[in-house]
Amino acid sequence: MITIDGSSGEGGGQVLRTAIGLSLVTGEKCVVENVRAGRKKPGLQRQHLTAVLAAAEVGDARVEGAELGSSRVAFVPKAVRAGDYTFAIGTAGSTTLVLQTVLPALLSASGPSTVSLEGGTHNPMAPPYDFLAETFAPLLHRMGAGLALQLHRHGFYPAGGGRVSASIAPAAWTPLELLERRDAPEVRARIVVARIPPRVAPREASMLRSRLGLRNDEIVIDEVESAGPGNVVILRLQLGEVTEVITQLGERGVLAETVASRAAAEAIRLLAANVPVGEHLADQLLIPMALAGGGAFRTVAPSEHTRTNAAVIERFLPVAIAFHEDGQDGAWRVEVRAR
């Protein structure tokens, strides 16, 4: 039995998702205490509960504490079953975070699976669909894992109503190293709007032209169907071997120019760092590299979120994850090694 303190490190839902996901992979029983103790609303919220129940279905697990507001979850998996799954969050909670929970286990299953998820597709503090499809999935393919994603309907907070599907093939893991940019960076933008005033997207585009020097033909504006209003600025940074996706969500009361400027600022920081892996991708790469038995990448200074995730992974898998500064340009090297 592995006991995890959910208040450790950044104290958020990632501790729970990583622990439950790797419990499925390894077959180890686990208990997560003080669930999301570092958040304003601690305990299980709807999307976290959905993730736990999804993992229980995939692994035929016995669960204690699977209820809204619970601060303690005990998870006892049996065997991971490949199959066709549908999980509905019932709110605008993140579909991608639920998928993130069950993905490592389904990549380790004996056969292919499909997963259909309903809820939010573009959420604050969660990887958006575009990031998983264009940044994360291609790197999984290079590591020998099969993940194909499709966005059927956008879902923005607070209405939700989005739908994403995933086709997953068992992995034949291969370690991966991402240490240098091999080509000059290229930047393109996509602005997605749904049920909001038509003046918003042109103002965001104008700010992107000003901050990043983008041409009109490097910015696409898409109006999409959704259950409620929404807006997201998506920047695609082609960094040689990696396509980084940076997103900023529009918010009520926040100027369109501010939304676009925030996205541009994040892109400018990453471009200046001269590394192939951004902060959010660094977090996502740790589990697949650990399952592959090794890997390394250069990135910006690792966040507390990433370091916390690494500490949980080391409790379940026989790997050591090391972080150290690499050079004078603020870059860091992250290494995952078998132990």
Global pTM reads: 0.95
pLDDT at 327 over 80: no
Whether residue 164 lies inside any domain: the answer is yes
Q: In terms of residue numbers, what domain contains 107? A: 82-172
pLDDT band at 267 (very low <50, low <70, confident <90, very high): very high
The mean-pLDDT minimum among 231-240, 242-251, 328-337 falls in: 328-337
| Residue 67: CATH number of its domain | 3.30.110
Whether residue 181 lies inside any domain: the answer is no
pLDDT the model gives residue 274: 87
Q: Judge if 220 and 159 occupy the same domain.
A: no
pLDDT the model gives residue 39: 92
Task: Estimate to the nearest angstrom the gap between the alpha carbon of 251 and the chain centroid.
Answer: 20
The mean-pLDDT minimum among 54-63, 66-75, 188-197, 323-332 falls in: 323-332
Average pLDDT (262-268) is 97
Write the pLDDT tens digit of every residue in 155-182.
998 899 999 999 999 999 999 999 998 7
Average pLDDT (34-40) is 93
End of a domain among 225, 242, 273? 273
pLDDT the model gives residue 196: 96
Whether 305 sits among the annotated catalytic residues: the reply is yes
What is the tally of structural domains in the chain?
A: 4
End of a domain among 39, 54, 79? 79
Structure-token match 């898998």, residue found: 317
pLDDT band at 37 (very low <50, low <70, confident <90, very high): very high
pLDDT the model gives residue 90: 82
End of a domain among 108, 137, 172? 172
Could you tell me which residues come within 8 angstroms of residue 92 by beta carbon, excluding any fewer than 6 positions away? 119, 120, 123, 155, 156, 157, 158, 159, 160, 161
pLDDT the model gives residue 329: 76
Q: Judge if 122 and 147 occupy the same domain.
A: yes
pLDDT the model gives residue 164: 98
Write the pLDDT tens digit of every residue in 116-162.
999 999 998 899 999 999 999 999 999 999 999 999 999 998 899 99
Q: Judge if 29 and 75 occupy the same domain.
A: yes
CA distances from 43 to 3, 6, 18, 308 (A): 16, 10, 16, 18
Write the pLDDT tens digit of every residue in 296-326.
999 999 999 999 999 999 999 999 999 999 8
Q: Which of 48, 152, 305, 324 is catalytic?
A: 305
| Residue 243: CATH number of its domain | 3.30.360.20
| Residue 132: CATH number of its domain | 3.65.10.20
Query: Which percentage of the chain shows pLDDT scores above 70?
Result: 100
Q: Judge if 15 and 65 occupy the same domain.
A: yes
Q: Judge if 264 and 305 occupy the same domain.
A: no
Q: Judge if 208 and 251 occupy the same domain.
A: yes
